[in-house]
C-alpha cells in the first residue's frame, strides 16, 4: 500500500463538473454537476474513503480489472496454456477477483487543476494473470464533459478488460426507477442464471433489453423475463451499434432535468441496475446502499470473451479479442457529457 497517496484528488470546478477521485481503486467518489433545475448535486454513489472502498464488494465507483465482468469457472487458455483466476461469483471470476484493481492503491503520477492520472503496476502472476501489466487511468474535466482514458501495457501475453464501475443517480437520491435510458444496441448477450453467456448474441427485439428508445428503467427491471428474474434486474452486455468513438447511450433524470450522454470506443456496454446492492455498503452520509439506488454503464468487451475466442488464433468479429501482447497498448476511452433537459 502506498501510504503517501493523497486521501482524495479533486479536479474541475463549478459551474462545470467537479470530480473527486480516491487513489484506492482509482475510484470516482463524488461527481458534482449543476442540474437542469439549477441545483448543484452529486450524481454518483460514493463511499466514505479508500478503506470503505477496499472493504466493499460492490465496486462503488472503482476501476475494475484485470478483467471486468465474468470469466467462466475462473479459467481461460492463452497460447495453449491454461490459467486459473479466483472464482468469486457463483463459481466464476468477476471483476479481477476479490483482490482486484478496485482494492489497490494507485499512484497519482500527474495532477493539474482539471486532470489527474493514476497508475497501477500489476505484477506477473497477479491473481493468476500472466504478464506484468502497467495501467493508467486519466480523468479530465473539459467544460461539461468528464473524460476517462484507460490504457495498459504488458510484458507478456495476457488478457485485459478494464472499465469504470461508477453508479449514476442523476436525482442525487432515491432510486433510478424514473430515469430514462436509451442505448444504441440492436443486440445483447443472453446469459444463464449464473450470468455467463449461453452462446452468441441475440436481437433485443421483444425483450426488456431493447433500450433503443428512451425507456423508464423501472419497467424493464420488473419485466417478467427469465434473465431479468435471474439477475434481479438488468446486468447484461448490450452489443453496441457502430464502432469507433461515438455516442452510445443517454441517461435522463427528469426530476432534476439533467442529462448524461455516454461516449465510448468499446464494442459492448454492461448495463447494471444495482441489483445486488444489499445494504452492506454505506454511502458517505452513512446510508445503506440498496437495490436500484444507482445505475452502472460500463463500456467494455463482452463477458467471458477469453473463452469465446477461436482456438486457431483467428478473430471473431462478434467477440473482439481480449488478448494484449507486448508492444501493444490496450485502450478504453469514455466520456460523460452533462447537459440540461428542456
Rounded Cα distance, 294 and 45, in Å = 7
| Strand ranges (E), 155-257 | 158-159, 163-164, 167-168, 180-183, 185-188, 202-203, 215-216, 235-240, 246-253
Residue 316 grid coordinates: 471473431
Q: Are 50 and 23 in contact (CB under 8 A)?
A: yes
Q: Is 165 annotated as a binding residue?
A: yes
Q: Is 69 annotated as a binding residue?
A: yes
| 165 counts as catalytic | yes
Q: Is 166 annotated as a binding residue?
A: yes
Q: Is 167 annotated as a binding residue?
A: yes
Nearest alpha carbon to residue 137 among 33, 11, 45, 250: 11
Residue 49 grid coordinates: 474513503
Residue 153 grid coordinates: 501495457
What are residue 163's DSSP bridge partners? 64
165, 179, 201, 236: the active-site residue? 165
User: Coil, strand, or helix at residue 53?
Assistant: helix
Q: Are 154 and 60 in contact (CB under 8 A)?
A: no
Q: Is 149 annotated as a binding residue?
A: no
Q: Is 237 annotated as a binding residue?
A: no
18, 227, 298, 309: the active-site residue? 298
How many C-alpha atoms does 123 have within 13 Å on its Cβ side? 2
| 261 counts as catalytic | no
Cis peptide bond upstream of 133, omega within 30: no
As annotated, the binding site for beta-D-galactose includes: 69-70, 165-167, 235
As annotated, the binding site includes: 69-70, 165-167, 235
Residues marked as catalytic: 165, 298
Amino acid at each position: 500500500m502506498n501510504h503517501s497517496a493523497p486521501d482524495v484528488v479533486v479536479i474541475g470546478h463549478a459551474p462545470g463538473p467537479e470530480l473527486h477521485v480516491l487513489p484506492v481503486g482509482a475510484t470516482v467518489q463524488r461527481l458534482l454537476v449543476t442540474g437542469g433545475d439549477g441545483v448543484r448535486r452529486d450524481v454518483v454513489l460514493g463511499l466514505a474513503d479508500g478503506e470503505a472502498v477496499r472493504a466493499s464488494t460492490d465496486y462503488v465507483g472503482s476501476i475494475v480489472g484485470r478483467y471486468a465482468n465474468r470469466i467462466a469457472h475462473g479459467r481461460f487458455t492463452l497460447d495453449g496454456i491454461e490459467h486459473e483466476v479466483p472464482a468469486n461469483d457463483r463459481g466464476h471470476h468477476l471483476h479481477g477477483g476479490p483482490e482486484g484493481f478496485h482494492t489497490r492503491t494507485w499512484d497519482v503520477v500527474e495532477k493539474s487543476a482539471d486532470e489527474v492520472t493514476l497508475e497501477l503496476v500489476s505484477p506477473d502472476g497477479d491473481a493468476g494473470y500472466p504478464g506484468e501489466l502497467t495501467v493508467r487511468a486519466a480523468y479530465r474535466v473539459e467544460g461539461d464533459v468528464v473524460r476517462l482514458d484507460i490504457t495498459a501495457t504488458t510484458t507478456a501475453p495476457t488478457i485485459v478488460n478494464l472499465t469504470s464501475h461508477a453508479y449514476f443517480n442523476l436525482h442525487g437520491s432515491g432510486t433510478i426507477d424514473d430515469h430514462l435510458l436509451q442505448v444504441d444496441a440492436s443486440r445483447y448477450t443472453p446469459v444463464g442464471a449464473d450470468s455467463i453467456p449461453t452462446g452468441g448474441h441475440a436481437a433485443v427485439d421483444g425483450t426488456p433489453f431493447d433500450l433503443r428508445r428512451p425507456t423508464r428503467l423501472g419497467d424493464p427491471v420488473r419485466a417478467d423475463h427469465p434473465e431479468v428474474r435471474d439477475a434481479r434486474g438488468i446486468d447484461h452486455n448490450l452489443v453496441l451499434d457502430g464502432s469507433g468513438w461515438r455516442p452510445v447511450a443517454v441517461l435522463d433524470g427528469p426530476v432534476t432535468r439533467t442529462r448524461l450522454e455516454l461516449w465510448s470506443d468499446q464494442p459492448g456496454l454492461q448495463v447494471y441496475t444495482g441489483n445486488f446492492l444489499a445494504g452492506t455498503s454505506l454511502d458517505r452520509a452513512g446510508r445503506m446502499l440498496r437495490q436500484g439506488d444507482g445505475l452502472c454503464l460500463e463500456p467494455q468487451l463482452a463477458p467471458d470473451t477469453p473463452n469465446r475466442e477461436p482456438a486457431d488464433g483467428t478473430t471473431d468479429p462478434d467477440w473482439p479479442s481480449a488478448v494484449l501482447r507486448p508492444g501493444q497498448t490496450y485502450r478504453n476511452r469514455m466520456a460523460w457529457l452533462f447537459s440540461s433537459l428542456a
